[in-house]
Amino acid sequence: MKDTETTRFQIKPEKDREARRIIGVVLRALREKGYDPVSQLVGYFLSDDPTYITNYEGARGVIRQMERYELLEVIIQDYINNSIEQPEDRE
Rg (CA), the chain: 15
Write the DSSP string, 31-54.
HHTT--HHHHHHHHHHH--GGGS-
Q: State the average pLDDT for the chain.
A: 89
User: Residue 50 has what pLDDT?
Assistant: 97
Mean pLDDT to the nearest integer, 24-31: 98
Collapsed DSSP state (helix, strand, coil) of residue 24: helix
Say whether pLDDT at 38 is over 90: yes
Q: CA 85: distance to chain centroid? A: 19
Collapsed DSSP state (helix, strand, coil) of residue 11: coil
